[in-house]
Amino acid sequence: MHKSELVDPGLSGVAETLLIPLYNRAMESQRPDAMMTDRRAVEIVAQMSYNFDQVRKIRMHEGNKVARIMLTREIDRYAWNFLGRHPEFLCHRSTPMFLMLGSLKNADR
Q: What are the structural domain ranges in the chain?
A: 1-58, 61-103
Predicted local distance difference test score (pLDDT) of residue 33: 93
Kindly state the DSSP code that residue 48 receives in the 8-state scheme.
B
3-33 tens-digit pLDDT: 556 777 777 788 788 888 888 889 999 999 9
28-73 tens-digit pLDDT: 999 999 998 888 889 989 998 888 888 888 888 889 888 988 988 8
Q: Is 26 exposed, middle or buried (0-12, 13-18, 19+ CB in 10 A)?
A: buried
Q: Tell me the backbone φ, ψ of residue 48, rounded to 5 degrees.
A: -90, 145
pTM strictly above 0.75:
no
